[in-house]
């Protein structure tokens, strides 16, 4: 049982990394401070909102499994 949960944990971690890399950049970094700044406050599109929900879901799964595995609640 621990091996199955460990593999799910690893899979969710790898998928979480890929999902974070798929997000679009939110600003121009330090160069965007002097600019008008209008690009920093745009609302998220439907695809970006869906990507955010999926990313948060996998983050919760990853952290929950990390806590369960490290606490030793499953034997």
Tokens in use for 72?
């030793």
Tokens in use for 61?
């799964």
In percent, how much of the chain has pLDDT > 90? 60
Residue 46 host element (H or E): helix 46-71
Structural domain of 59:
1-7+48-75
**In-domain check, residue 36:** no
Residue 60's Cα: distance from chain center in Å?
A: 9
31 has a pLDDT exceeding 70: no
* Rounded distance between C-alpha atoms, residue 24 and residue 35, angstroms: 19
Residues with Cβ within 8 Å of residue 21, at least 6 apart in sequence: none
How many domains in the chain? 1
pLDDT of residue 59: 97
**In-domain check, residue 59:** yes
**In-domain check, residue 26:** no
């Amino acid at each position: 049982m621990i091996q199955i949960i460990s593999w799910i944990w690893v899979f969710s971690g790898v998928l979480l990394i890929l999902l974070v890399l798929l997000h679009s950049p939110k600003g121009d970094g330090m160069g965007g401070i002097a600019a008008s700044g209008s690009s920093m406050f745009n609302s998220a599109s439907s695809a970006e909102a869906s990507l955010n929900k999926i990313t948060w879901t996998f983050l919760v799964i990853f952290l929950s499994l990390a806590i369960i595995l490290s606490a030793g609640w499953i034997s």
